[in-house]
Structure formats: C-alpha cells, structure tokens
Amino acid sequence: MMSSEVGAGVTGNMVTDTKTRDGVFEHKGISIWWLFFAGSVVLLAWVGNLYLPYLELSVPGLPEMQLVRERGTFGDQFGAVNALFSGLALTGLVYGILQQQVTLNVARDELNIARHEATRTKTMLDEQREALEEQNRVNRKQAFESNLFELLRKNTEVLEVATEGNPKSKFHNKGAIAFEVTLENYNHQVQSKTVGYEWTGFYTSHQSTFSNYAWHSSLVIEFIIEANYASFGFDTEEEGRQFYFNLFFLQIPPNAIWGLAACYLHEQFSNVLSSALTVDIIAFAKRAGIFGYSPSIIEAYKELSCSEEVSA
C-alpha cells in the first residue's frame, strides 16, 4: 500500500502546500501580508482623501478647488467611515474568495490521493485474495493426493495378499503373479470368441483371488470420481478425473487390470460402478494390450459398449 504524507505549511492560518511521497502538490495560500498590503492601500486612500480639502489643486476646465471642495457625502463624518469599512470589506471578500479557492484545490488533491490510495488498497486486497485462493487450491489438492496415495498404498497391500490356488498348499501364488497365472488358465480354458458367460463363470471360480482387490479398487475409483477437480485448478472435471485414473491404473499390473475388468463386468459389482465407468476401465485394459488373448471379455466389452451408446 502506498503510504502518503500530507504536510500543510501554515502562515497566518493559511494552508501553503500539500506533499505526498509520490509527488509534491504546492498550493500556496494567499499570504497574510498581501491582506495587510491591500488593507493598507485602502486605508491610505481613505486617509489621503481626508486631506484633499487641504490641498491646493487646480484642474483644467473646472473652477479652482471645485473638485476638492465639492466632495459630496464623503465629506460627512459617517460617510467617510462607511467608505473605509466598505473598502476593507471588499478587500476581505476578495481575499476570502481567493483563499477558499486554494482550500478547495487542496481538498480536491487530498480526495485524489485518497481515491488513489483506495485503488491501490483494492488492488492489493485482490492480489491477496487470489494468492489465498491459489494457496487453498494447493492445500485441497495436496490433501486429496495424500488421501489418494494412502488408498493406493492400501490397494497395493491388498493386491499382494491376493491368492491363486489353495493357500494351504505349497502350490499357490500371491500378488500380481496370482493374476498372471489366473489369466493364463483363462486363456487355456476359453476357446470360443462368442460365449459370453465364460468370463462370469471363470470369475465365480476365482472369486477369492479377485473380489477383495476389486472391492478395494472400487473404493479408490469412487474416491477419484467424487473429487471436485475444479477446486484443484483443473480446467474441467473430466481432465482431472482422467489424470488421476491414469495415475491409478499405471500403478496396477496389467494382469490385475484384466482381473478388475472381469470383476466389474460381473453383476455383483453392478451397483458399485456405472456401466459407463466399467466400459472405460475395460477400454483402458484393452489399450494396454491385455485382451489380445481374452476373447470372451472383448465380446462382453463390445456388448456393454453398444448398450451404452443406445442408452446415450
């Protein structure tokens, strides 16, 4: 904020200047000595007029002493006093008008300074508000990402304990390898490209491998969906959602993405994720090249995609 200093020099109660740090506005007041001078001129003229009858004057074209002798009402004692005070009053009036003009100029400049100061203050407050809003956006985004990364960490832990086969047997697999082995078994079992029920039956057979991880992953997905990305600084909600979806899926092994796709196509998860989101997840897995040897999933994906287009 601009700080200002307003100094007023006073001479006989007269403002002489106004100073600011941005510049100096000098408004010289009418000096009190000019008032004394004007009053003195009036007084001298009045006194001089009193002495006119005692002067020997001759004016061409007029009888001798006529101009002096015939002074009119001024020769009256009270008329002379009235003339004196009238002259002094006129002098004071002119002086007051001039001084008022100076005072108005000072007031106008002080108003301009105050207006400029208010503008600077508003600008500063706007900048502070924008900085505060930006800081709030950063804080909200950091809080969201902190919670998201914690969910992703938990999700990884759930993936690591996923088990394929009998846990009591030494011939069982855990973690991402369990999804890989399951996918290989699926590849051997599925021969037809048109049998759509095979993936559901296969999911039921391996529910212990998929379900816990799928349920926890659905919590992460819902957390990403429900976030307000405009408050994080993203231009659109879709932009923010896609950014964090990519971040989420890039941390999942490709075979586990296939496992999620199989789960979310099952009716057990129909009330958790919308079919449109399921299509997006399967499409992501398809772009990763995972469905090259999963024909029945591809057929289910095509059917679901067609139903989404029809409903839209």
pLDDT-derived band at 299 (thresholds 50, 70, 90) equals: low
Minimum mean pLDDT range among 9-18, 133-142, 229-238: 9-18
Residues pairing with 271 in the sheet: none
| Share above pLDDT 70 across residues of the chain, in percent, rounded to a whole number | 49
Tokens of 70: 């015939």
Most confident of 25-34, 192-201, 288-297: 25-34
Judged by DSSP in three states, 289 sits in coil
CA distance 133 to 83: 74
Strand 24-25 relative to strand 18-19, pairing: antiparallel
Minimum mean pLDDT range among 129-133, 144-148, 162-166, 188-192: 188-192
Q: Tell me, what's the pLDDT at 4?
A: 42
Q: Tell me, what's the pLDDT at 195?
A: 47
CA distance 220 to 149: 10
Residue whose C-alpha is closest to residue 40's, from 87, 82, 75: 87
Q: What is the arithmetic mean of pLDDT over 37-48? A: 71
pLDDT-derived band at 144 (thresholds 50, 70, 90) equals: very high
Q: What is the model's pTM?
A: 0.54
Q: Tell me, what's the pLDDT at 154?
A: 92
Q: What is the arithmetic mean of pLDDT over 171-185? A: 75
Eight-state DSSP code of residue 294: -
For all residues of the chain together, what is the average pLDDT? 70
Backbone angles phi, psi at 173, to 5 degrees: -125, 150
Q: Tell me, what's the pLDDT at 115?
A: 92
Residue whose C-alpha is closest to residue 294's, from 265, 274, 272: 265
Q: What is the arithmetic mean of pLDDT over 150-156? A: 91
CA distance 251 to 253: 7
Q: What is the arithmetic mean of pLDDT over 126-146? A: 91
As to burial, measured by CB atoms within 10 angstroms (0-12 exposed, 13-18 middle, 19+ buried), residue 249 is buried
End-to-end Cα spacing for the chain = 56
Q: Tell me, what's the pLDDT at 289?
A: 54
Q: Tell me, what's the pLDDT at 179?
A: 78
**Count of residues for the chain?**
312
Q: Tell me, what's the pLDDT at 267?
A: 67
pLDDT-derived band at 90 (thresholds 50, 70, 90) equals: confident
User: Any long-range contacts for 262-267 (C-beta under 8 Å, 24+ apart)?
Assistant: 262/199, 262/202, 262/203, 262/210, 262/297, 263/203, 263/210, 263/211, 263/214, 264/214, 264/218, 265/199, 265/200, 265/203, 265/297, 265/300, 265/301, 265/304, 266/200, 266/203, 267/200
Minimum mean pLDDT range among 24-28, 113-117, 174-178, 272-276: 24-28
Cα distances (angstroms) measured from residue 102 to each of 12, 35, 99, 137, 165? 14, 15, 5, 52, 99
pLDDT at 110 over 60: yes
> Greatest CA span in the chain, whole angstroms?
153
DSSP string of 5-47? -----BSSS-B--EE-SS-EE--PPPPHHHHHHHHHHHHHHHH
Q: Say if residues 296 and 198 touch (Cβ distance below 8 Å).
A: yes
| Share above pLDDT 90 across residues of the chain, in percent, rounded to a whole number | 12
